[in-house]
Amino acid sequence: MKKFTALALSCLFAATALAQSTPDIAIIPEPVKITKHPGLYTLPKAIVVQSGQQQELNRVLDLLKEKFATATGKQILVKASAPAAAIKLVLNKKADAVLGKEGYYLSVKSTGITISANEPAGLYYGAQTLMQLLPKEIEGLKVAKGVTWSVPVVDIYDYPRFAWRGLMFDVSRHFFTKKEVMRFIDDMVKYKFNLLHWHLTDDEGWRVEIKSLPRLTTVGAYNVKREGTFGDFIPPKPDEPRNYGGFYTQDDIREIVKYAQERYVNIMPEVDVPGHSLAAVVAYPQLSATAGADKYVVRSGEKIMDWSKPGHPALVDNTLNPAGDYTYEFLDKVTTELAQLFPFEYMHLGGDECAKNFWEQSEQVKALMAKENLKNMEEVQSYFEKRLEKIVESKGKKFMGWDEILEGGLGPNAAVMSWRGIKGGIEAAKQGHDVVMSPTTFAYLDYMQSDRIMEPPVYATLRLNKTYEFEPVPEGVDAKLIKGGQANLWTEQVYNFRQVEYMIWPRALAVSESVWSPPAKKNFAAFFPKVEKQFERFDQSETKYAPSVYDPIFQVGRNPDKTIKVTLTTEVPGLDIYYSFDNSYPDKFYPKYTAPLTVPIDAALLRVITYKNGKPVGRMNNMPITELTKRAGN
């Protein structure tokens, strides 16, 4: 009996030790089903991959080869048949109806790894999951030494909730190079995004070569360089060089599209019309309904709209003329060439924030209203959108626009991207139209990530935990009409690619779970520890990310005696807050926040920092007392 007990205890301790040595499984987006088992599988010195003879698996093999060669120094040997292979890639002979086109089954046993799927895309996503099971050094940019390349023994059955899992990248406000766009694609596919919404035109630049309209890029792609707070710049002087910007040649576009396809990403181009079209109007002034448009210049970030007034009237006419025949001839040429460059079924034609004050003054527009019996400017835009929809469909493409295209009446086949909350998406779905949800409420990655004293100033703050609440299917809406969701990165205040990364990560991780994972498996308390694991991987890949989630939240009011009261909270649990009012830099030896603070009478600055487990994780927050006074009010 004693021997049996000792043996049982021995086995128990061994199992416990084994479990403790097993790495945490921290996969984003959360898979449909994870079944953990005891033990690890350690990759051999020579990694053999069995892939059959299917040529379509080359993209998956390329991913494995690149990752292992770069981070481990191990070369992969590919064989059509290898019973003892370390990694087996298997296309199902009989399709698994639940897995669909992008699902996969990843099985790690003590003897090896098998990834099976119905389609190569599923194998690709399974391989991306495998990367997250490996040590963080797999994301490194050079061979890591002293790492044991092991993965936990586990079974993962996984497939996406939505077919449309997008990120929007605005390259008009600031131009980003071909290599940077490719890096953007590489980063998004790690978390199973499959749609790049490419915002190619706006007031600040036209970024896609249209050979039949060369001035769009020779003139419309460049402005005067400015740095600082976008929207508040002084107007450029006539003699300042207009050499800031750039565009993608059609060969560039083809190369990027091919690069994306090889990673199972579709690219949807967006040409933003009839508003947001100043760059096009500067190139071809005959597009405007306003006299004097030939004197306009491509915007550099100076104020061109008055956002304080209803309808946000434009200070210069940045719209296309909805009554001009040339406008539709122009759009026919643009969409003809775009359709040849982008194989994706949808083409996005904007439709948002169209100022109509210049239309109201136009005799051409007034004549159009009389001829077509249009009652208001919303119906004028609807007339424009419906004509444009027919042009797009004549190229074999489907038409999509922002939710403003609902105003005045939606075209018969138009799909709607809902950005002003979810109301427009609900309305479009109730009318039987396809919808993609990308509401500012949850999915606008240009918004500040913590307090405005810490972030480039934009319109609002959107913290990680709020982004994680994103639910693309509202109650009472036919889920079949919700194609999926996406997050949008506008780049007015994003001047370089490092800031692109900072704005996207980690909030895009939250969006990835909203569009891939089952709703029942979403849990922020479980999600954030996984985010912290991704931070370690970002460090390895030298990807910039925002630590804003660690920044405190300032709530300001007044005590009964009118002194200022500051309440500090944190977005995530487990943080300690330390502070100072004496202009010095606090650390963990300073006063610890335990209750609301009263600002001392002569204090000029409140400094705050957060710690976790005795180590600083947050940034030094410098809050001027003048700012607290402003927020406290009277």
Span 229-245, pLDDT tens digits: 999 999 999 999 999 99
> Could you please report the per-residue DSSP string of 69-137?
HHHT-PPEEEES--TT-SEEEEE-SS--TTTTTT-EEEEEETTEEEEEESSHHHHHHHHHHHHHHS-GG
454 DSSP β-pair partners? none
Q: Who's near 32: CB < 8 A, 6+ residues apart?
A: 157, 158, 159, 517, 518, 521
Same domain, 390 and 526: yes
pLDDT at position 2: 35
- CATH number assigned to the domain comprising residue 559: 2.60.40
Same domain, 148 and 171: no
- Between the alpha carbon of residue 223 and those of residues 292, 302, 326, 491, 496, the distances in Å are 19, 11, 25, 15, 16
Same domain, 37 and 81: yes
Residue 6 lies in a domain: no
607 DSSP β-pair partners? 580, 622
Residue 1 lies in a domain: no
Domain termination residue (choose one: 548, 575, 598): 548
Same domain, 420 and 541: yes
pLDDT band at 92 (very low <50, low <70, confident <90, very high): very high
Tokens 């809406």 — which residue? 477
- CATH number assigned to the domain comprising residue 493: 3.20.20.80
Same domain, 594 and 543: no
pLDDT band at 14 (very low <50, low <70, confident <90, very high): very low
Same domain, 78 and 219: no
Distance CA 633, CA 250 (A): 55
CB 353 within 8 A of CB 404: yes
Parent domain of 456: 164-548
Cα angle, residue 607 at apex, residues 606 and 612 outer, rounded to 5°: 135
Distance CA 373, CA 367 (A): 10
Closest C-alpha among 298, 324, 196 to residue 245: 298
pLDDT at position 17 over 50: no
Percentage of the chain lying above the pLDDT 90 cut: 94
Considering only 122-126, 229-233, 321-325, which range has the smallest mean pLDDT?
229-233
Per-residue pLDDT tens for 31-66? 999 999 999 999 999 999 999 877 889 999 999 999
Q: Who's near 567: CB < 8 A, 6+ residues apart?
A: 554, 555, 556, 557, 596, 597
**Residue 51 CB neighbour total at 10 angstroms:** 24
Burial class (CB in 10 A: 0-12, 13-18, 19+), 330: buried
Domain termination residue (choose one: 504, 523, 548): 548
Distance CA 630, CA 634 (A): 9
Q: What is the pLDDT averaged over residues 124-132?
A: 98
Same domain, 416 and 430: yes
Any idea how long the chain is? Answer: 634
How many helices (H) and strands (E) are present in the chain, helices listed first?
18, 26
Distance CA 246, CA 249 (A): 10
Distance CA 385, CA 389 (A): 6
Residue 10 lies in a domain: no
pLDDT at position 52: 84
Closest C-alpha among 505, 491, 488 to residue 442: 488
Distance CA 353, CA 331 (A): 19
Q: Which residues are catalytic?
A: 353
pLDDT at position 351: 98
Q: What is the pLDDT averaged over residues 538-565?
A: 97
pLDDT at position 276 over 90: yes
Structural domain total, the chain: 3
Percentage of the chain lying above the pLDDT 70 cut: 96
Token representation of residue 41:
């599988």
Same domain, 588 and 507: no
Considering only 10-24, 326-340, 360-374, which range has the smallest mean pLDDT?
10-24
Residue 511 lies in a domain: yes
- Between the alpha carbon of residue 616 and those of residues 142, 547, 570, 613, the distances in Å are 28, 11, 14, 8
pLDDT at position 53: 77
Parallel, antiparallel, or unpaired: how do β-strands 164-170 and 112-117 relate?
Answer: unpaired
Per-residue pLDDT tens for 440-449? 999 999 999 9
Same domain, 219 and 100: no
DSSP 43: P
Q: What is the pLDDT averaged over residues 595-607?
A: 98
pLDDT at position 5: 37
Spatial strand order of the sheet with 47-50 comes to: 33-42, 150-158, 104-109, 112-117, 87-91, 47-50, 76-79
Q: What is the pLDDT averaged over residues 115-123?
A: 98
Distance CA 362, CA 194 (A): 43
- Between the alpha carbon of residue 391 and those of residues 50, 349, 388, 399, 421, the distances in Å are 48, 11, 5, 9, 29
Q: What is the pLDDT averaged over residues 131-160?
A: 97
Same domain, 556 and 496: no
- CATH number assigned to the domain comprising residue 129: 3.30.379.10
Residue 303 lies in a domain: yes
Token representation of residue 275:
């508003």
Closest C-alpha among 173, 195, 210, 49 to residue 115: 49
Distance CA 281, CA 296 (A): 8
pLDDT at position 23 over 60: no
Distance CA 60, CA 241 (A): 46
pLDDT band at 74 (very low <50, low <70, confident <90, very high): confident
Residue 11 lies in a domain: no
pLDDT at position 538 over 50: yes
Burial class (CB in 10 A: 0-12, 13-18, 19+), 25: middle
The helix or strand, by DSSP H or E, that contains position 409, with its residue range, turns out to be: none
Token representation of residue 219:
């003139």
Residue 505 lies in a domain: yes
DSSP 302: B
Closest C-alpha among 138, 28, 24, 162 to residue 506: 28
Per-residue pLDDT tens for 474-492? 999 999 999 999 999 999 9
Closest C-alpha among 201, 241, 424 to residue 330: 201
Domain termination residue (choose one: 158, 179, 214): 158
CA 430, chain centre distance (Å): 27
Burial class (CB in 10 A: 0-12, 13-18, 19+), 113: buried
Distance CA 393, CA 125 (A): 32
pTM to 2 decimal places? 0.95
Three-class HEC string of 222-284: EECCCCCCCCCECCCCCCCCCCEECCECHHHHHHHHHHHHCCCCEEEEEEEECCCCHHHHHHC
Q: Is pLDDT larger for residue 7 or for residue 112?
A: 112
Q: What is the pLDDT averaged over residues 568-573?
A: 97
Instruction: Give Rg (Cα) of the chain.
Output: 27
> Could you please report the per-residue DSSP string of 543-566?
-----GGGSPEEEEEE-TTS-EEE
Per-residue pLDDT tens for 166-178? 999 999 999 999 9
Same domain, 125 and 245: no
Q: What is the pLDDT averaged over residues 24-35?
A: 96
Residue 467 lies in a domain: yes
Closest C-alpha among 583, 574, 596 to residue 625: 583
Same domain, 193 and 63: no
Cα angle, residue 197 at apex, residues 278 and 210 outer, rounded to 5°: 50
